[in-house]
Each structure stands twice: as C-alpha cells, then as structure tokens.
Amino acid sequence: MALENLLPLELIDKCVGSQIWVIMNGGKEFTGKLLGFDDYVNMVLVDATEIDPVEGNTTLPKILLNGNNICMMVPGGDGQYQVEDE
C-alpha cells in the first residue's frame, strides 16, 4: 500500500505493539507500547511513562488516554527532543 493512500487510523493500526510518544492538549506527554485503540482514538499504552520535566517521570503499568485530548502522536518516539545543527 502506498503511503499517500494510508488513512490516519490505518497508520495508528500499524503502530499497535510498537513504542509511541503521545502529546496531550494540556501539555502532558506519555510514552509506551501501544496496546490498542478504538475509532475515537482512545488508546491504551502499556509499560508507559508520564514525562514531566518539572516533577520527574512517572512509570505506569497501563494507561487509557482519551482520544479527544490527544494533540500529537509520534510513532517510535521516546519523548526525547533532538535538535540538529544547521
């Protein structure tokens, strides 16, 4: 299947079982292994980490994220920002 013909839910489906970095509307960030999701993009992460630069990271065995509050998802992301030199 060509990448330009890939629908958003198909892309997320390809990420099931893989590491994903999720940035929420309120600024919270989570990384973990995507266990599953539904048509509303509510998703379950296992072996998750809540990333908080001020209070430190929190490890969670499993978490359900509300799809209405998801701002961005980065497949394969680990929550680390990388700045490239120009």
Q: pLDDT of 20-63, one tens digit each?
A: 999 999 889 999 999 999 999 999 999 999 998 888 899 999 99
Predicted pLDDT of residue 35: 97
Residue 23, CA atoms < 13 Å, CB-side half-sphere: 11
Buried b (16+ CB within 10 A) or exposed e, 3-15: eeeeeeeeebeeb
CATH number of 8-75: 2.30.30.100
pLDDT value of position 82: 56
Q: Locate the domains of the chain by residue range.
A: 8-75
59 closest CA partner among 71, 51, 69, 70:
51
Structure confidence by residue, pLDDT tens digits, 54-81: 888 999 999 999 999 999 999 988 877 6
